[in-house]
Amino acid sequence: MGQSPSTLLQIALLVLFVLPGVTYQFLRERWRGPVPGERDLGERVLRAVAASVVLDTLYLIAAGPQLVRFARHAGPAGRESVAQQPRSAGLLGLVLFIVVPAAAAGGVTWWQRRRRPARYRSTPTAWDHLFLRSGPCFVRMRLRDGAWVGGWYGSRSYATSYPQAPEIYLESAWLMKPDGSFVRPVRGSAGIHIRAADTDVLELLSPPAAAPPDIPPAAVPAARTTEEPG
């Protein structure tokens, strides 16, 4: 095991090597949205380190002499430069660790969205897109054995989002006919939990205008549908 950084200068160099990439990776994920390729923590760390290497290289190319002069002026204890120029040191840290990585993340995100408008989406999955702006509605799902289950998706319901497995909690369960038609609410129902992995079809059905959740939708209403992979 190597020795831990023992001086302020060593700590500053360690932060300079790691923090720009961490800022870049964090903002990229926030602005772009999570993607399946970055679920693994190790891969995300490698991406952050790679971004730090690129940014640090650009720092050295653009302002190498000034950065070296600042580091040498810090002295053996690494305190003089910061003590004598606290504002300059703070501004330098803000630019190197926050401003430039944020600008790089914003620029790359904008370029990808502009270059691939038809394919690039910040919403990671169709499941998230389906429930992102869904209001109260009826939901019905066909299980893999052909049976239908469904209920009312209201303010007390919940649908998971990426990277969690697609699941949904409906605050009110309904009895369903074999053809998927709604019959009536299950008496005493406190809700129903359904895993998308157990289904092959999901439909969101808009309720009749101004109707309460105990009024069934039409047998074949307009619906937003997604099919789970078999």
Per-residue pLDDT of the chain (230 residues; tens, 9 = 90+): 455 445 655 666 677 778 888 888 888 877 776 666 666 677 777 888 888 888 888 888 888 787 777 666 655 544 555 566 677 777 877 888 889 999 998 888 888 777 655 444 556 778 888 887 778 889 999 999 999 999 999 889 999 987 788 999 999 999 999 998 899 899 888 999 999 999 999 998 887 654 556 666 654 343 444 445 44
Rounded Cα gap, residues 33 and 84, in angstroms? 42
Cα angle at 180 between 178 and 184, to 5 degrees? 95
pLDDT at 79: 52
Q: What is the pTM of this model?
A: 0.50
pLDDT at 175: 93
Q: How far is CA 200 from CA 41, 116, 117, 177, 179, in A?
A: 30, 30, 29, 17, 15
| Separation of first and last alpha carbons in the chain | 49
160: left (phi over 0), alpha (psi -120 to 50) or beta: beta
153, 139 in Cβ contact below 8 A?
yes
Rounded Cα gap, residues 9 and 32, in angstroms? 34
182, 172 in Cβ contact below 8 A?
no
- Which of 55, 63, 60, 56 lies closest to 103 in space, CA to CA? 55
Rounded Cα gap, residues 193 and 173, in angstroms? 9
Q: What's phi and psi for 173, nearest 5 deg?
A: -90, 150
Beta bridge partner(s), residue 174: 150, 185
Rounded Cα gap, residues 180 and 185, in angstroms? 14
133, 194 in Cβ contact below 8 A?
no
pLDDT at 192: 94
